[in-house]
Structure 1
Amino acid sequence: MSLVEGNVPKGPPNQVAPGADPARLCWICKENKADSGEHKTKRSDLLAVLGKVSQKQPFFYSDTKKKNQVVGSLDAKILKSPVRICAHCNNARTQSHDRGWEWMSDRLRSRRLETGRWVRCNRIFRHFTKRKMIAVHLYFLKLFGCMIAEAKANGHEVPINLDAFSNAIMSGRPHPEVHLQFGRCDNGIGRSDLHCWKTDPGGAVIGGWLYQLEPIAVSILYVQAGKFKDRRDLWHPHSRTSAKRFLVADFMYARRDRTEERAKATAAAAEAAHAP
């Protein structure tokens, strides 16, 4: 099996390079030493899809720097964010968030998702649905925040306020500008690069990345408040239209590319057949 970091989803490309040095203090609590590495793809997710990994049974890891790097442990440094957080935030403070996504990930992978169909959140979490869906939201905030911190440490200008991510996690409340989409992908494993851009006119900020775990995927989007209308296809705990359910999105980009290529080939063949 292969794990790929840096697949680029469709959208305006402003790629953020990886490889930042760890921060001195945890960006979440801003008090404790940043001494704990957060997996870029959740360890339990990797174990579920890759199985047991060892030096005798490794897998191959690819990123924007190098292809097919041999990895013999799910705790390998290369699988963790280079920007660290403190052990307390990574464990005690966000443990319920991790467990929320671990449960939802298992539930999504165990059922046949159909793109374009609605799934009620209480079909995933039968009890304390709202609280546990907020935990999922906060789990992806942690990953998103690590990516923003990494990008800024690399010298990139990211017009997204990291403090708002910290405040949301510390208070246990959703970030009002971060939305999720749950859907199906092309059986990829890993995460995309972080993309961030401004729209014209108006200069509204949009940022996002894709978390892939065959055959499911989650799109994590930052959408600047007050600049866009509430979209039914974006899930948020406080959404007026989709807080209690989510629309299964289509992230099967490879399939779309193959379909487009076949359509072009068919059109070219038809044109050649009618040529004088």
Structure 2
Amino acid sequence: MAVLGKASQDEPFYFHDLNRRNKPVSSLDAKILKSPIRICAFCNNARTQPHDRAWEYMSDRLRSRRLAVGRWVRCNRIFGSHVRRRMVDVHLYFLKLFGCMLAEAKANGYDLPIDLDAFSKAIMSGRPHAEVHLQFGRCDGTIGRSNLHCWKTDPGESVLAGWLYELDTIAVSVMYVQAGRFEHRRDIWHPHSRTSSKRFQIADFRYSNRSDAELEARKR
């Protein structure tokens, strides 16, 4: 709401995805904006409310800054106190969204090689998921999220999955990186990472600034 404001019949927002474009939305409580997979009311409210509030606070702070691509941002510059706990809450906020997307995909018949129980256990225990990482960056001003993509790589069929969350000028790439199968990158953030747990680097998700040749190369 801090970004969109209030929708109404006279001044609706417009929603689009792969199947439909510019569908009028007159309320932020509209069914089309909600995941068809619901978690219990207690988990969605009381249990995960600190996670929602941590991301709300962090996203407000990030959107109020002129973030330069490549810049390192220290977590204690966002949360003045209880930094570790609040950053874990941010991690768990995206873990909840990721889990709902996985549950929806599996309900629709997709056989994804990712254990959903591990997501539930992390949220229930308040501890980070070892294989879910975040990358924070700048984007073009879009509000929404991409579809979930999942790959198996050769050799050994290692699993990699991810999706992109966009909120006005900032974006978060949410990635499932199978433990022990991929080398850690310093620009990918995780609460338990020795090299980047206390800070994160701003990535560039502003695809409108990239040349057609570069975008085509990234698709290959």
TM-score (norm 2): 0.95
State the partner residue of 1:111.
65
Q: Deviations over 1:173-206 (max 9, x none)?
A: 0000000000001111100000000111221100
State the partner residue of 1:236.
190
Q: 2:43 aligns with which of 89, 92, 114?
A: 89
Supply the distance in 2 between the matched residues of 1:254 and 1:207 (Cα, whole angstroms). Answer: 24
State the partner residue of 1:68.
22
Following superposition, the deviation at residue 260 of structure 1 comes to: 4.9
Structure-to-structure mapping, 1:122-137, within 5 angstroms: 122-137=76-91
Q: 2:93 aligns with which of 139, 143, 153?
A: 139
Check if 1:197 corresponds to 2:151. yes
Q: Give the AA of the match of 2:89.
A: A
Aligned residue pairs total: 215
Q: Deviations over 1:242-265 (max 9, x none)?
A: 00000001111221135859xxxx
Secondary structure of the corresponding residue to residue 50 of structure 1: coil
State the partner residue of 1:206.
160
Q: Deviations over 1:188-231 (max 9, x none)?
A: 11000000001112211000000001110000000000001221
Distance 1:165 1:51, change over 3 A: same
Report % sequence identity.
71
Compare CA radii of gyration and give the structure with the larger one.
1
Over the aligned positions, Cα root-mean-square deviation in angstroms equals 1.2
Q: Give the AA of the match of 1:158.
A: L
Q: Give the AA of the match of 2:200.
A: F
Check if 1:101 corresponds to 2:55. yes
Check if 1:186 corresponds to 2:144. no
| Runs of 5+ consecutive residues of structure 1 not aligned to the other structure | 1-46, 262-276
Q: Deviations over 1:136-193 (max 9, x none)?
A: 0000000000000000000001111000000000000000000000000111110000
Q: 2:10 aligns with which of 43, 50, 56?
A: 56
| Runs of 5+ consecutive residues of structure 2 not aligned to the other structure | 216-220
TM-score (norm 1): 0.76
State the partner residue of 2:218.
none
Q: Give the AA of the match of 1:112.
A: R
Supply the distance in 2 between the matched residues of 1:59 and 1:259 (Cα, whole angstroms). Answer: 33
Supply the distance in 1 between the matched residues of 2:4 and 2:55 (Cα, whole angstroms). Answer: 18
State the partner residue of 1:17.
none
Q: Which has the higher contact order (CA 8 A, sep 6+)?
A: 1
Supply the distance in 2 between the matched residues of 1:258 and 1:118 (Cα, whole angstroms). Answer: 28
Supply the distance in 2 between the matched residues of 1:258 and 1:70 (Cα, whole angstroms). Answer: 31
Q: 2:120 aligns with which of 166, 183, 186?
A: 166
Supply the distance in 2 between the matched residues of 1:95 and 1:86 (Cα, whole angstroms). Answer: 13
